[in-house]
């Protein structure tokens, strides 16, 4: 017996299901938690992000964070190193994520594990250097 199979495309995600079946839920969208940002290099608009500058680390550059109300909002779609633990607790910027760390290896690329002076450390853009935001193509002047 032949069955009709539908291919559903939603936001770049494909699912095959039989006619009448409910398609499986979409995976959570990846977010840009930990990508370096500043006033000239904005964060993605979807899902909604903001550029966070912590009280430690660089005061000029920050990192992108999705808006959150629970820790799970920060963890769903996080693609950074597994050693870092995202939390929706940020006194410097309410409803944004922080990434708790114990070493630089716990942080996304270009971020460092910065001590707050207390028992915890968080991933932040290092204070001592401005990270390049514009890349010049090879061979151009």
- pLDDT tens digit sequence for 2-50: 444 334 444 444 445 566 677 776 665 678 899 999 888 888 877 788 9
Q: What sections of 3-98 are H helices per DSSP?
A: 71-75
Single pTM value for the model: 0.69
What is the C-alpha separation between 51 and 12, in angstroms, rounded? 26
- pLDDT tens digit sequence for 74-115: 999 899 999 999 999 877 778 999 999 999 999 999 999 999
The answer to whether the beta carbons of residues 69 and 95 sit under 8 Å apart is: yes
């Amino acid at each position: 017996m032949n069955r009709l199979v539908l291919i559903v495309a939603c936001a770049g995600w494909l699912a095959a299901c039989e006619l009448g079946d409910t398609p499986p839920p979409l995976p959570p969208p990846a977010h840009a938690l930990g990508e370096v940002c500043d006033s000239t290099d904005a964060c993605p608009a979807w899902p909604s992000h903001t550029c966070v500058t912590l009280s430690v680390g660089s005061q000029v550059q920050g990192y992108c964070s999705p808006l959150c109300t629970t820790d799970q909002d920060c963890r769903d779609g996080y693609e950074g190193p597994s050693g870092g633990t995202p939390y929706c607790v940020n006194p410097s910027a309410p409803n944004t994520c922080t990434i708790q760390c114990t070493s630089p290896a716990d942080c996304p690329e270009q971020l460092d594990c910065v001590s707050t002076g207390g028992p915890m450390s968080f991933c932040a853009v290092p204070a001592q250097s401005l990270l390049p935001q514009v890349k010049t193509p090879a061979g151009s002047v």
